[in-house]
């Protein structure tokens, strides 16, 4: 019998290991790809530059110097390369073009984290030069790459076909919640775990709570905000201004057992409510995948691909209106009256996560495209 030849590939990123979370994801993806292929990791690094070179590099027709030639020289007859998205500029396009010219049968797959991303990545004034640079060069990607990996619903991005999948997690590495309350009570504990950015939109929850109590709401809803980030001060000011400090608990950054303690007293997890600000209508976020792995019911303010037709979730409108807290209360009451109880619900959600967002599952469409 003829022995099958294992395909050879490279996983490429640009200084991705500077972030613990990204480094963890890189490790998971390489580990899973290595089940079927020979995979080697290569890192694209930014060259040291003087201030004048940095300024020139901001111009649309100029590039950020990176070690592309060195990376290309290290490759040996690749069948595929998997690249975490890098800002498009002339040198990046030339690198991909050289790769395609040297290895015409090589499949070039680029993971694009958020789409559309213009309002997300290029919002601040000091990122505008990169916006114009990316806008100019990204339309040439169609000539040099074969597929985008996307967590959106888009079949085509920049005239390139996509591989649609989910933002995955290693479910078995995430501790399942152990809820203390298994019966309906007047108290509803909400949790949001995030590096707080404007796209999280938690001001909608705070304003919604204010409106709920203003109109005579009687249930006690406590909102545990776990994490730090650029929006934290604004959320604290809003909470104080609306005199909601007894209902909104800012926990700061928590990890490990300290985070599990908060999760275990929570009834419902809150995803993002501000994605309308960055023009996103459908997404697959890492946080929702983590919530599912924990076994948490979820309320979100945007269409989440992992939650389509998922009964233990509630989707609120993707706009700037105050969150409708009454709907969250009704969702909690419905959950509380289910015969399996909260412990049973947790188990069902956890099992769903294993089938839907576990890294083994989400990498399958990519592996199938590469071909075993």
Spatial distance between the Cα atoms of 312 and 310, rounded to a whole number of angstroms: 6
Spatial distance between the Cα atoms of 48 and 84, rounded to a whole number of angstroms: 21
DSSP state letter for 303: E
Torsion angle, alpha carbons of 225, 231, 237, 241, to 10 = -80
* pLDDT band, residue 334 (cuts 50/70/90): very high
User: What confidence score (pLDDT) does residue 2 get?
Assistant: 45
This prediction's pTM:
0.87
Short-list 257, 10, 285, 17, CA closest to 169: 285
Cα angle: 122, vertex 59, 115; to 5 degrees? 30
User: What residues does each domain of the chain span?
Assistant: 8-166+359-370, 172-356
Instruction: Name the CATH superfamily housing domain 172-356.
Output: Glycogen Phosphorylase B; (3.40.50.2000)
Q: Do domains 8-166+359-370 and 172-356 have the same CATH topology?
A: yes
Beta bridge partners of 160: 157
User: What confidence score (pLDDT) does residue 313 get?
Assistant: 98
pLDDT (average), residues 107-121 = 83
* pLDDT band, residue 21 (cuts 50/70/90): confident
| Confidence check: pLDDT of 60 > 70 | no
* pLDDT band, residue 123 (cuts 50/70/90): low
pLDDT (average), residues 216-226 = 97
Going by C-beta distance under 8 Å and a sequence separation of 6 or more, which residues neighbour residue 188? 219, 220, 221, 222, 267, 268, 328, 329, 332
| Distances in whole angstroms, Cα of residue 180 to Cα of each of 185, 328, 335, 337, 341 | 12, 20, 15, 16, 12
| Confidence check: pLDDT of 3 > 60 | no
Q: Are strands 160-164 and 156-157 parallel, antiparallel or unpaired?
A: antiparallel
Residue range 190-199, pLDDT digits in tens? 999 999 999 9
Neighbours of 330 (CB within 10 A): 12
* pLDDT band, residue 5 (cuts 50/70/90): confident
* Block residue for tokens 């199938």: 368
What's the fold here for domain 8-166+359-370? Rossmann fold (3.40.50)
* Block residue for tokens 């303010």: 301
User: What confidence score (pLDDT) does residue 195 get?
Assistant: 92
* pLDDT band, residue 58 (cuts 50/70/90): low
User: What confidence score (pLDDT) does residue 206 get?
Assistant: 99
334, 317 contact by CB (below 8 A): no
The length of the chain, given as a count of residues: 372
| Confidence check: pLDDT of 119 > 70 | no
User: What confidence score (pLDDT) does residue 322 get?
Assistant: 98
pLDDT (average), residues 211-220 = 97
DSSP state letter for 177: P
């Amino acid at each position: 019998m003829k022995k099958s030849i294992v395909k050879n590939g490279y996983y490429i990123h640009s200084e991705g290991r500077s972030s613990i979370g990204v480094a963890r994801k890189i490790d998971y993806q390489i580990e899973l790809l290595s089940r079927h292929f020979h995979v080697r990791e290569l890192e694209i690094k930014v060259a040291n530059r003087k201030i004048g070179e940095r300024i020139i590099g901001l111009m649309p027709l100029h590039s950020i110097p990176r070690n592309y030639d060195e990376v290309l020289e290290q490759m040996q007859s690749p069948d595929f390369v998997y690249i975490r998205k890098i800002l498009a500029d002339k040198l990046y396009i030339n690198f991909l073009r050289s790769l395609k010219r040297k290895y015409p049968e090589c499949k070039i797959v680029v993971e694009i984290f958020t789409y559309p991303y213009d309002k997300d990545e290029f919002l601040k004034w000091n990122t505008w030069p990169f916006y114009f640079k990316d806008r100019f060069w990204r339309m040439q990607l169609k000539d040099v790459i074969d597929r985008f990996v996307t967590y959106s619903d888009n079949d085509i991005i920049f005239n390139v076909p996509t591989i649609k999948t989910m933002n995955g997690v290693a479910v078995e590495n995430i501790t399942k919640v152990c809820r203390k309350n298994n019966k309906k009570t007047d108290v509803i504990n909400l949790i949001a775990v995030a590096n707080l950015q404007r796209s999280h939109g938690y001001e909608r929850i705070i304003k919604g709570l204010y409106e709920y109590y203003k109109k005579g709401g009687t249930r006690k809803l406590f909102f545990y905000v776990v994490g730090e980030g650029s929006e934290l001060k604004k959320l604290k000011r809003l909470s104080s201004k609306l005199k909601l400090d007894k209902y909104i608990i800012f926990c700061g950054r928590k990890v490990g057992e300290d985070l599990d303690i908060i999760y275990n007293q929570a009834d419902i997890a809150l995803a993002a409510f501000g994605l309308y600000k960055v023009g996103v209508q459908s997404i697959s976020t890492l946080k929702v995948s983590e919530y599912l792995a924990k076994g948490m019911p979820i309320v979100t303010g945007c269409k989440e691909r992992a939650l389509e037709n998922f009964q233990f979730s509630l989707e609120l409108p993707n706009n700037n209106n105050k969150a409708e807290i009454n709907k969250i209360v009704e969702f909690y009451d419905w959950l509380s009256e289910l015969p399996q109880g909260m412990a049973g619900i947790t188990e069902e959600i956890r099992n769903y996560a294993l089938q839907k967002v576990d890294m083994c599952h989400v990498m399958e469409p990519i592996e199938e495209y590469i071909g075993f």
